[in-house]
Structure 1
Amino acid sequence: MLSFDEPDLDERRRLLDECERLLRELANEAGLGWVTYLRGMTFIEEQNPDRAREVLEAAADLFRRLGRRWEAVNAELDIGYALVTADEPAEALPLIKVVLVEAVDIGSPPQIIKALVLLAAIQTEADSRAATRLLAKALTIADEEGSEPDLGSRAV
């Protein structure tokens, strides 16, 4: 059984390599996009935001080419996360704003929440009141949806 929550990162890479091989044989580009995305998330777990950004950009580009907006937005939000963790908020801010608009356009509350949380993280030092309002909105949306913001172990 393949698991992408495999705690052993070397084993996770091996599993992703195996998936990539099978997906290439099947010519499944959407699946390859997800494998690429999961590789990027592995770099985030390793605290390698530059490599994560590079790989997540490849995933987002592939998803965009395939017309898979939800998946592209998902990858782009994690690019924003990588930029925030790399202490590059000025570069993250315009990306996250654009992606937030698209998340609203496609009607994806989890992605809207994620974008608001990232924007709040960027605003915390410059304008703590604005950051608080962004977090409050994220929590309101989560409550309305009957969920909680998915911050997991990657809390910003």
Structure 2
Amino acid sequence: MKGLKKQRRVQIIVLAFAALALSTGLIGYAMKDGINFFRSPTQVVTDPPRPGEVFRIGGLVEEGSIIRGQSETVSFRVTDTNETIPVRYTGILPDLFTEGQGMVGTGSMQDDVFIATEILAKHDETYMPAEVIDALKEQGVYQDAGSGS
């Protein structure tokens, strides 16, 4: 009788582990299209994304690069001061989107131009997305707002 109980317990544990592994795999598979990796312009140039790969790019909007096209189409360049990537976006830009400020865009590369489906910009005078700050620090060009620069 004791051997049967022990065998049943082992079967339940193995079954629970298999169910957990299966559910983890299914969740990972379902999320794979929803995960957007962040890249700086330098990372895009040195390690180009796969065709059609959706990712996030971030950096500073290059001074003098904003060109407003027909209707809601806007072209500009995003830089991390090391490399520059041209961006094209059709839609309404955030009110605080300006040259020289941090931005993050979601989209994909098409003929060496980043086609953005979403643009995020700072939301107050001092905010810059954490990924942009990290990329700029990596390049050695980020200066903290409180540093008196």
Which has a greater percent of strand?
2
Larger radius of gyration: 2
TM over 0.5: no
Which has a greater percent of helix?
1
**TM-score, normalising length from structure 2?**
0.30
Larger RCO, structures 1/2 (Cα 8 Å, 6+ apart): 2
